[in-house]
Amino acid sequence: MALDSYSGEMSLSRRAMQAELLDAETELRLAYAWRDERDEEALHRLITAYMRLAISMAAKFKRYGAPMNDLIQEAGLGLMKAADKFDPDRGVRFSTYAVWWIKASIQDYVMRNWSMVRTGSTSSQKSLFFNMRRVQARLEREAAAVGENLDKHQLRQMIATEVGVPLHDVEMMEGRLAGSDYSLNATQSTEDEGREWIDTLEDASPQASETVEEDHDLETLRGWLVTAMDALNDRERFIVRERKLRDDPRTLESLGQELGLSKERVRQLEAAAFGKMRKSLINQSPEVRQFFV
């Protein structure tokens, strides 16, 4: 598989190097043909001619550990976006314009695949991701040249100022770049019977004792409700059920229309029903008294 991938990469690179070189006049003519006439042959020539540029830029990002074939594919997507958005009337060479789109496409891919944890999404975080190590190395060299010894906090603060990002972004990115992701199924030791890291995570599901207690409380509440409802007549039970026990409670007005009563009368009956339920619960279940005093 690795050999096939390498062969494909070399074949693509060879084809790109053998592609025609476009002069400014031909490039402009192809750009107009694509923009104004959607001439796919013109687009193909434009893309093919500058694929060597895309491959060259992709190679600069190999140090981030992504497969070269994937980097080339992303670079090609950036090149096609550039061709689709290029305006030949602006007087800029297509290659100059395409560089930005190719680089942006590759950088987005690298950041998406660097870690399962999202590394960053803002332009400042992206700038920090790709420049932090270079800026840090330069600052350390400059400090060493004048005999200074920067501690970690000073270095982070200087990086933040240099790149133009908040200090907490530097601290976050430092942690993300310091190491790779680890599987929760990896063992904590080299022993065969070592615990997996996932075993150390707290179980957020309810414990057995909590479940039993919750079921008991729910059954008690259900019994209280049945007792309270028994103290009501049929009309009062109907009003309470429709007003409080439905997923979609009914309005006083709709109940009044059905019962042939005014909205105010339904409200009075509802209040009276609640009073009866309260009295019944206190009389028959003394432990409920604490909820009403």
Residue scoring higher pLDDT (183 or 3): 183
**CB contact at 8 A, 90 and 35:** no
Residue type, 121: S
State the average pLDDT over residues 230-256. Answer: 89
Q: How confident is the model at residue 132 (pLDDT cuts 50, 70, 90)?
A: confident
Long-range CB contacts (< 8 A, 24+ apart) of 220-226?
A: 224/281, 224/285, 224/288
45 plus 130 within the same structural domain = no
107 plus 131 within the same structural domain = no
Residue 92 belongs to a domain with what CATH number? 1.20.120.1810
Q: Provide the 10 A C-beta neighbour count for residue 216.
A: 10
Number of domains in the chain: 3
Task: Say if 187 falls within a structural domain.
Answer: no
Residue scoring higher pLDDT (242 or 278): 242
Domain end: 114, 133, 153, which one? 114
Q: At 88, which helix (H) or strand (E)?
A: none
14 plus 79 within the same structural domain = yes
Q: What is the pTM of this model?
A: 0.47
Task: Say if 280 falls within a structural domain.
Answer: yes
Domain end: 114, 137, 157, which one? 114
Nearest-angstrom CA–CA distance, 238 and 270? 10
127 plus 106 within the same structural domain = no
Closest CA to 80 of 44, 111, 30: 44
State the average pLDDT over residues 188-210. Answer: 59
Task: Say if 197 falls within a structural domain.
Answer: no
The pair of structure tokens assigned to 162 is 């240099």
Q: How confident is the model at residue 281 (pLDDT cuts 50, 70, 90)?
A: confident
Closest CA to 112 of 101, 124, 126, 102: 126
**pLDDT value at 124 more than 80:** no
Residue type, 243: R
250 plus 169 within the same structural domain = no
In terms of average pLDDT, the best of 10-19, 56-65, 66-75, 220-229 is 66-75
pLDDT at residue 84, as a whole number: 92
- Give the structural domain span for 147: 123-178
Residue type, 212: V
Q: Provide the 10 A C-beta neighbour count for residue 205.
A: 7
Task: Say if 198 falls within a structural domain.
Answer: no
Task: Say if 194 falls within a structural domain.
Answer: no
160 plus 72 within the same structural domain = no
For 44-78, how does the pLDDT look when each residue is reduced to its tens digit (9 = 90+)? 999 999 999 999 999 988 877 788 889 999 999 99
Task: Say if 148 falls within a structural domain.
Answer: yes
Task: Say if 191 falls within a structural domain.
Answer: no
**pLDDT value at 21 more than 50:** yes
For 136-174, how does the pLDDT look when each residue is reduced to its tens digit (9 = 90+)? 888 888 888 888 888 888 888 888 888 888 888 887 777
Task: Say if 183 falls within a structural domain.
Answer: no
Residue 272 belongs to a domain with what CATH number? 1.10.10.10
144 plus 103 within the same structural domain = no
